[in-house]
Amino acid sequence: MTADFDGVEALSFDCYGTLIDWDGGILAAVRAIESLADCDHERLLHDRAALDRRLTRGGYLSYDQVLRDSLREAAELQDAGVTEEEAREFSASMSTWPPFPDAPPALARLAARYRLVILSNVRTAVLDRSIALLGGAFEDRITAEQIHSYKPRHAHFEEALRALSLPKDAVLHVAASPYHDLAPAEELGWRDVWVNRDQAPLCPGLAPTAVVRDLTELCALLGVD
């Protein structure tokens, strides 16, 4: 069955993992930390992600602090220590993580037809540097720093509708994370596209409007030349 995108005027995007190579960027940042040389990096990143979710479920904490604290705690689970300087360098590296190669050209094409906005859990200054790497095709961005709330809470989505002055039926959410993005979007009744770059199985209970492997495929799905 062909997905229905009638009436869509704007696309909202998650950034890290969808447009910016989160996995590649964070792995490179961890490998650069001397104190973690003897750690199992795959396990460390898995543990750090779980700690990240725990920390962002509490009261608002700057995402830089979330990155530093989750890294330190994950390292401690392997009896490793991270210096304060190493933790700061790790969090600061996020703004340099590279876009997926398909993202900048596809965003430029999409911006010719749709209004584009980013919904992200990071600090505004970090996201602005990432947007510059992506080509700056966005008319607005909603960050956790601005609203003191983290996805999968609904505040990012509600703020996006206010910023765009559009009803939810006119916005299509595009994201890679079932937990942070697809679940809340579908709870709110938004149409959504899952960017499944790793061909992972879908979480039970979710039913995205469409699934694509990358943004080039998204352009084809939406009929954007």
- Per residue in 48-76, pLDDT (tens digit) is 999 999 999 988 999 999 999 999 999 99
Catalytic annotation, pick one of 4, 14, 64, 128: 14
Q: Exposure of 147 by Cβ count < 10 A (0-12 exposed, 13-18 middle, 19+ buried)?
A: middle
Please state, as a whole number, how many other Cβ atoms lie within 10 Å of the Cβ of residue 60. 13
Region 25-43: mean pLDDT is 97
Per-residue pLDDT tens over the stretch 79-88: 999 999 999 9
Token pair of 156, please? 């990012």
Inform me whether the pLDDT recorded for 7 exceeds 60: yes
DSSP sequence for 117-169: EEEESS-HHHHHHHHHHHT---SEEEEHHHHT--TTSSHHHHHHHHHHT--GG
Region 42-47: mean pLDDT is 97
CB 196 within 8 A of CB 39: no
Per-residue pLDDT tens over the stretch 140-188: 999 999 999 999 999 999 999 999 999 999 999 999 999 999 999 999 9
Per-residue pLDDT tens over the stretch 116-134: 999 999 999 999 999 999 9
Question: Cα–Cα distance between 169 and 104 in angstroms, integer?
Answer: 26
Structure confidence at residue 2 (pLDDT):
60
Separation in Å, CA 84 to CA 35, 75, 177: 11, 13, 29
Residue 4 designated active-site: no
Inform me whether the pLDDT recorded for 1 exceeds 50: no
Mean pLDDT score of the chain: 96
User: Which domains does the chain show, CATH number per domain?
Assistant: 10-21+98-222 (3.40.50.1000), 23-94 (1.10.150)
Inform me whether the pLDDT recorded for 110 exceeds 50: yes
Region 208-221: mean pLDDT is 97
